[in-house]
């Protein structure tokens, strides 16, 4: 997508410091050192209790396309350091031109519900290649995960109602609009007004009409009649241009004519005023005129909280049109996903585990080559345990709460589980078949149905347990103690 918009290869879609570090690794002979990085976030967005992973489809496209073409290298050759000399020497640019990604990537499937500090992606490869990927991987995963989560929250509130995404006009540019449409669909909306997203991603496209259509005619009735005459199978009439109640009555007049011609009034749309009161009044008028199946669509700066309030107020809305607040993730415009080094292989072939210290315990990174195990019982998911695949293949496992080491849970070998990270690329080769967008969408609903209702609450949700397997917890604790004493000496 980005490629089409900008007509370039994608190697330069990174921060300059990734390239300067890559140069440093190359110059110092460290470029091929094997490393493992994890991509994860530390806090759920929207003060929520869960997050929906999204963006792997774009990551796969990106990795497949990754290269530096001649024009990229010419641009890099033009960059200068503070002394006015070229930043990068020609031999390094030649190296970049010949570079083919050979990383191994494990990831959770799109549509998987994930929690703070769990790796969504694990990247293993040469330190130089892993480092170059930091920025694009975060760019691709952070935004799509954020939007999929926002849409999933709206889906939880909407229950079986229809959700339409109307956000393209307010999205963060064309690419923001396109990726938001895709992520919102996976997260839980049923359709988009974004026609290009319909074409490229196979998302159903739907829509009504704007106020300008009504304003173009001498009367609202004439506007409705004309629309219904030429689009009799797409008649959702926007009734609030002048007077909403009169608008509903005009829509009913047109609905009767549609019925005489063998069609029906599909819906009316409310786009201002008190949506609870107006939808209840509109439902009365429509039902009294025999239009029981005509849908009431609502739009106007909606988000999950207003939708929830409208439901509590008994609003008779069955279709929700949501734009700005969804595609811009209005109340939290970024997910704070990070990409941290977890291990480096020594010349002897042994892994050396790495941590990034922080004053805040919650920000200390977890070392090791991690996998996430999601345990379940008959009622649903019970806990996630992060463990190190090289240290422990736990049949029976002890899981430590990383923020309170006195809290330990035991899992016996009978407890059912699934492993969340799956191989996507093996040394550069794609080994994963991306599920259809429909399958990823279904996964969100299926996953969420297995979590306790409290985790899904909009306000003050229950914290789902995520812990470290005991051996990994001990490794981390020892590294922290050692790093703190080294930093003091």
Ligand X SMILES: O=C(O)c1cccnc1
Binding residues (CB under 6 A) for ligand ATP: these are 272-276, 300-302, 306, 309-310, 313
Our separate counts of H helices and E strands in the chain read 17, 21
CA distances from 283 to 9, 271, 423 (A): 53, 15, 51
Residue whose CB is less far from ligand ATP, 236 or 366: 236
Binding residues for ligand X restricted to 234-293, rule: CB under 6 A: none
Choose the binding region for ligand PRP from 66-74, 143-151, 297-305, 436-444 (rule: CB under 6 A).
Answer: 297-305
Q: Which is nearer to ligand X, 233 or 360 (CB)?
A: 233
When binding is defined by CB under 6 A, the residue of 40, 41, 88, 166 that contacts ligand X is 166
Tell which one of 256, 301, 346, 427 touches ligand PRP (CB under 6 A).
Answer: 301
Question: For residues 386 and 122, what is the distance between their CA atoms, to the nearest angstrom?
Answer: 13
Alpha helices (H) along 28-113: 56-65, 70-78, 90-98
267 binds ligand PRP (CB under 6 A): no
Q: Cβ closer to ligand PRP: 324 or 415?
A: 324
Q: Which residues of 358-375 are buried (b: 16+ CB within 10 A; e: fewer)?
A: eeeeeebbbbbbbbbbbb
Considering CB under 6 A, how many residues would be counted as binding ligand X? 7
Output DSSP code: residue 218.
Answer: S
Instruction: Compute the least distance from the CB of residue 169 to ligand ATP, in Å.
Output: 16
Q: Can you tell me which residue has the tokens 């926002």?
A: 150
Residue 209 near ligand PRP by CB under 6 A: no
Q: 56-65 and 127-158 helices cross at what angle (nearest 10)? A: 150
Closest CA to 152 of 271, 297, 48: 48
**How would you class 205 by CB atoms within 10 Å of its CB: exposed for 0-12, middle for 13-18, buried for 19 or more?**
middle
Establish if 271 lies at the interface with ligand PRP (CB under 6 A).
yes
| Range list of β-strands (E), 182-317 | 191-192, 236-238, 267-270, 295-298
Contact predicate 475/391, CB 8 Å = yes
Whole-number Å distance between alpha carbons of 42 and 356: 14
275 binds, among ligand ATP, ligand X, ligand PRP, none (CB under 5 to 8 A by kind): ligand ATP
| Residue with Cβ nearer ligand X (321 or 367) | 321
Partner whose binding site includes residue 324, from ligand ATP, ligand PRP, ligand X, none (CB under 5 to 8 Å by kind): ligand PRP
| Per CB under 6 A, 166 contacts ligand PRP | yes
Question: Among 14, 129, 149, 208, which residue sits at the site for ligand X (rule: CB under 6 A)?
Answer: 208
Nearer residue to ligand ATP within complex by CB, 59 or 163: 163
Q: How far apart are CA 132 and CA 12, in angstroms?
A: 9
Q: Is 170 in the site for ligand PRP (CB under 6 A)?
A: yes
CA distance 81 to 263: 70
| 179 binds ligand X, rule: CB under 6 A | no
In the list ligand ATP, ligand PRP, ligand X, none, the entry touching 310 (Cβ below 5 to 8 angstroms by class) is ligand ATP
Residue 409, interface with ligand PRP (CB under 6 A)?
no
**Binding stretches for ligand PRP (CB under 6 A):** 166, 169-170, 271, 299-302, 321-325
Q: What does the binding site for ligand X look like in residue numbers (CB under 6 A)?
A: 166, 193, 207-208, 299, 321, 323
């Amino acid at each position: 997508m980005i490629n089409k918009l900008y007509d370039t290869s994608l190697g330069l879609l990174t921060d300059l410091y990734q390239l300067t570090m890559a140069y440093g690794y190359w110059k110092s002979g460290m470029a091929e050192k094997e490393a493992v990085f994890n991509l994860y976030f530390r806090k759920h967005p929207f003060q929520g209790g869960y997050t929906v992973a999204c963006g792997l489809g774009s990551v796969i496209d990106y990795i497949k396309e990754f290269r530096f073409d001649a024009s990229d290298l010419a641009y890099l050759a033009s960059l200068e350091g503070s002394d006015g000399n070229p930043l990068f020497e020609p031999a390094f640019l030649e190296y970049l031109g010949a570079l083919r990604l050979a990383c191994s990537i494990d990831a959770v499937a799109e549509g998987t519900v994930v929690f703070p500090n769990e790796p969504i992606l694990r990247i293993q490869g040469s330190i130089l290649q892993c480092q170059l990927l930091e920025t694009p991987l975060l760019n691709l995963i952070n935004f799509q995960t954020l939007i999929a989560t926002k849409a999933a929250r709206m889906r939880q509130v909407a229950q079986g109602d229809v959700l339409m995404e109307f956000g393209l006009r307010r999205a963060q540019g064309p690419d923001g609009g396109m990726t938001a449409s895709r992520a919102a669909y996976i997260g839980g909306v049923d359709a988009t007004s974004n026609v290009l997203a319909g074409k490229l991603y196979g998302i159903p496209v739907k829509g009504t009409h704007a106020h300008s259509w009504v304003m173009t005619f001498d009367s609202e009735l004439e506007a409705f009649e004309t629309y219904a005459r030429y689009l009799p199978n797409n008649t959702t009439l926007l009734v609030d241009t002048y007077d909403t109640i009169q608008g509903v009555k005009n829509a009913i007049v047109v609905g009767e004519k549609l019925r005489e011609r063998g069609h029906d009034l599909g819906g009316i749309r409310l786009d201002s005023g008190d949506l609870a009161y107006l939808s209840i009044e509109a439902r009365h008028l429509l039902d009294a005129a025999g239009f029981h199946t005509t849908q009431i669509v609502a739009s106007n700066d909606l988000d999950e909280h207003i939708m929830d309030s409208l439901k509590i107020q008994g609003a008779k809305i069955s279709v929700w049109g949501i734009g700005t607040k969804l595609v811009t993730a209005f109340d939290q415009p970024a997910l704070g996903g990070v990409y941290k080094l977890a291990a480096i292989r020594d010349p002897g072939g042994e892994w050396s585990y790495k941590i990034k210290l922080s004053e805040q315990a919650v920000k200390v990174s977890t070392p090791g080559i991690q996998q996430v195990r999601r345990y379940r019982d008959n009622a649903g998911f019970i806990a996630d345990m992060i463990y190190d695949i090289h240290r422990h293949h736990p049949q029976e496992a002890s899981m430590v709460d990383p923020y309170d080491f006195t809290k330990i849970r035991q899992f016996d070998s009978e407890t059912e589980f699934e492993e969340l990270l799956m191989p996507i690329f093996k040394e550069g080769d794609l080994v994963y078949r991306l599920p259809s967008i429909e399958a990823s969408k279904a996964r969100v609903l299926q996953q969420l149905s297995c979590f306790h209702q409290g985790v899904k609450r909009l306000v003050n949700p229950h914290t789902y347990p995520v812990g470290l397997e005991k051996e990994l917890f001990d490794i981390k604790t020892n590294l922290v103690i050692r790093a703190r004493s080294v930093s003091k000496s």
